[in-house]
Amino acid sequence: MTIRTRNNVNIKGHGTKPMIFAHGFGCGQAMWREVWPAFEKDYQIILFDYVGSGHSDINAYNSERYASLNGYAMDLLEVMQELNLKDAVFVGHSVSCMVGILASIKYPEYFESLVLIGPSARYINDAEYVGGFEEADIQELLTTMEKNYIGWANYLAPAIMGNPDQPELGQELTESFCSTDPVVARQFAEVTFLSDNRADLQKVRHRSLVLQCAEDLIAPLPVGQYIKEHIDQCSFQLMKATGHCPHLSAPEETIRLMKDFLA
């Protein structure tokens, strides 16, 4: 099995400078469809799915490899190695922001800059740190996923998406969650919500942009501000967009802020 097949790699665009998009939990590369075309004239666009997500090869899933975010960082790095990418613009959503950070620390020469959409270095509140969730909340979430995954997806996905005036987006995220193998999704959720990458932020050496939505159930405002304060050369933009997926609900604003940063 090739890496391109394993991770459903697709290459678009007419430029030579690489821009690689990494999707969030329970999603796939199709979630970037409103954003990447705005960059295809000037960049080589790379889209891929993590193993266990989207249209990747589920047979390549290994619970040991993906027992931490490092396994997903390996997916990203192996795709970049396969394509011989250097000085790439990395665009990550949600948990992929930390995946991209881990990868950039390991192989900094692959990256030029990081665009982090809705990032969180830790989801659980801790002493003076505000992550947005209590540990009991996360454990209840994981238990519900085990008992009734479809019900969990139908309840939580629209809340994560927000934007009730665009119900089709909440439905799309629900369907994306429901199309993911429940066992894979449960492990990915545990790895995501129990991770703590705060200590990794100070190791980042690339220009970074944090795009923070005004109202985000998953990554509240203090989370984005914390990341901004702990990464050198980090820009922070508080968006007018609400919800956790501005690349779907507010693509024009997302594109504009990305272009401002890259310029």
Catalytic residues: 94, 216, 244
By 3-state DSSP, what share of the chain in percent is helix, strand and coil, each rounded to 5? 50, 15, 35
Q: Are 25 and 245 in contact (CB under 8 A)?
A: no
Q: Are 51 and 224 in contact (CB under 8 A)?
A: no
d(CA 129, CA 126): 5
Question: What ranges make up the beta strands (E) of the chain?
Answer: 10-12, 17-22, 43-47, 88-93, 111-117, 207-212, 234-238
Structure-token pair, residue 205 = 């050496």
Query: Residue 208's beta-bridge partner residues?
Result: 114, 234
Burial of 177 (0-12, 13-18, 19+ CB in 10 A): buried
Q: Return the HEC string of 150-205.
A: HHHHHHHHHHHHCCCCCHHHHHHHHHHHHCCCHHHHHHHHHHHHCCECHHHHHHCC
Structure-token pair, residue 28 = 């796939």
d(CA 237, CA 191): 27
Structure-token pair, residue 31 = 């979630």
